A and B are shown apart, each in its own frame.
Chain A
Amino acid sequence: MNIRALPLYATIAIFLLAYLICYMQFPAMLSTRVIGNLLTDNAYLGIVAVGMTVVIISGGIDLSVGSVIAFSGVFIAVLLRETGMHPLAAFALLLAITTLFGAAMGGMIHLLAMPPFIVTLAGMFLARGAGYMLTIDSVPIDHAFYETMQRAYYLMPGKGRLTLLGVTMLASVILGMILLHRTKFGTNVYAIGGGEATARLMGVAVGRTTVLIYAFSGFMAGLAGIVFSVYTSAGYPLATVGVELNAIAAVVIGGTLLTGGSGYMFGTLIGVLTMGLIQTYIVFDGTLSSWWTKIVIGALLLMFILLQKGLLRLRISH
């Protein structure tokens, strides 16, 4: 058995167990409606977590993503309000901007040898500030194409809706899996996460890969911003504060080591769904206060980190 994949198995087992407990208390939890909503409600988080997984496996961190999502929503909303541009053109423009933004942060991290934590922290201020400069109000999006996207869904058996947003998230995860596990770029990401000096000696183009990693994260944050704007039909510069933390937590719960070099994209999907499940449970229960979400997520984080620590010892002793 592949001991490296143990955290992934543990993540899946805990998710299934948690779902079973929820199901025993509320049998309605196991309907395609709940599953469809779980995917739709967490679509933007899942997409941004795909980018975060790549960043974290490379040993870095990207604190800017929450602000980038908020900026994206505002950018699209203002652009659609001020010009007669088609949303698809606005999306393309936005993705170009956020990708370049990510690439610029990657470039700074590499060229100036500054810690990713600090560079992306400045990026977080900058993206949020750029959002404020566009508008400080919540701008509604009223476009026929948006309604089409919101209505686009596949009716699953049991009347659950597999929405366009949910499918976008699943497609992003699959894209991330291919990129991370099946391409040279993915191998380079793991190599840098394992040790930058070693990677350089092995002939990995560290600079180019670093730029690409943060560009990918920026692209995913932009995509998540688009999905979030479709989800809320509005752009608001104060939205999605702290989403970067949720994304990091989802990645860690998904079994990826924050030290870098080890982890699986699929685990991140399970991490996102686990966090969504906790929220769904609190909604179903109706008496629990929302702060229990934070406490339970904190406890889950602790459990997974200790589990990984134990497995790491196990691997070393073998």
Chain B
Amino acid sequence: MTGSTLLRRIAPQLLTLAAVIVLVSIYYPAFYQIVYVNDRLVGIPIDVIKRGAPVALLAIGMTLVIATRGIDLSVGAVMAICGASAAWSIDQGYGIGAALGIAGAAGLVCGLWNGVLVAFFGIQPIVATLILMVAGRGVAQLITGGTILTFDSDTFAFLGSGTMIGVPVPTVIWILTGIGFGLLVRRTALGLLVESIGVNLRASTLAGINSRVLLIAVYMGSGFCAALAGVIATADIRGADANNAGLWLELDAILAVVIGGNSLLGGRFSILASLLGAMIIQTINTGILLAGFPSEFNLVIKAVLVIVILVLQSPRFMPYLELLASRFKRSSVTRLEAGE
């Protein structure tokens, strides 16, 4: 993608993000302030890009899954499983490397399970991943033994609350993961192949794409992103909570992808736009708190904003907008010609 087409693709998301930020700063003028204290950047925007890390990470994997015309409902439960495995490993006295390895492996295995169900058994993705969504939290509770598994490891906690050159580590992780996945799919043909599977699985297979392997790889990618998100969530609170880690985050991640302008029917995708979607959601979440509304209003405000954004982006509504825009343009042109 050249610079201008990329900009055109993400323009709606950038505009929405800007609008949301302006809206928040009306209620909370100190929104933009960032200061540097104790070797770390402090400020609301920094808080947004830190707290948005889990949804941003999930949105990266979810974008690819949705591009194949799939959906991954299990990511929240996978976060709980991976967080629990990491906490369990540290609790057992393994090093941080082993703990991360085990968490990552758990995420990949979960993704493999989903991928095999979708690619080999031909099960609809929403159903295939529903199984792990329901059973996954049970598995996570099995690992933690039904309690909140706490641990004492400053190196591990660094992943959730530490900083690198002033920037929170979770932020560094999601940005690097985004760049990594972006390079992987856009500097190779993989992205194109993923899109072609999403447009027409059968035709892609007939054209010689090994769609089964690619599908499984995509779900494993999603599982890996969920593992990273799970590790961050666990490190942040220094404990694995099988019941609440990543609870309903799959819905926020799907929302981020949809707000990012990616079609749930698969095909063309943009990871960058999904990440912007994740930041829009987090700005809304943080903004509602900052604006000082009673917390009872949070969900309603979020729902209304989401509905507005979705209606504006919906395929039926867009043509009206364009029609309106072209009429406006034409009328201004005629006015110009009339010498007004």
Contacts and interface: CB of A to CB of B under 8 A. Distances in A.
Interface string B7-42: 000000000000000000000000000000000000
B303 A115 contact: no
Contacts of B317: 112
Interface residues of B, number: 44
B127 A305 contact: yes
A113 B315 contact: yes
Contacts of A259: 124
A47 interface: no
Contact of B127 (A113, A114, A123, A258): A258
Interface string A110-132: 01111101110111111011101
Interface string B127-156: 110111111111101100010000000000
Interface in A282-304: 289-295, 297-299, 301-302
Does more than half of chain B's interface fall in helix, strand or loop, or is it mixed? helix
Given A111-B316, A258-B126, A291-B141, A128 B135 contact: no
Interface of B: 71, 121-124, 126-128, 130-139, 141-142, 146, 251, 254-255, 258, 264, 295-304, 306-307, 310-311, 314-317
B316 A294 contact: no
A290 B137 CA distance: 11
* A contact residues, range: 35 or more
A45 interface: no
Interface of A: 61, 63, 108, 111-115, 117-119, 121-126, 128-130, 132-133, 136, 245, 248-249, 252, 258-259, 289-295, 297-299, 301-302, 305-306, 309
A125 B303 contact: yes
Given A125-B303, A301-B135, 5 more contacts: A126-B303, A133-B297, A258-B126, A289-B146, A305-B131
Given A112-B314, A291-B141, A301 B131 contact: yes
A294 B135 contact: yes
A125 B302 contact: yes
B135 to A, nearest CB: 2
B135 A299 contact: yes
A132 B124 CA distance: 35
Contacts of A248: 130
A142 B301 CA distance: 32
A298 B132 contact: yes
B299 A297 contact: no
Contacts of B123: 305-306, 309
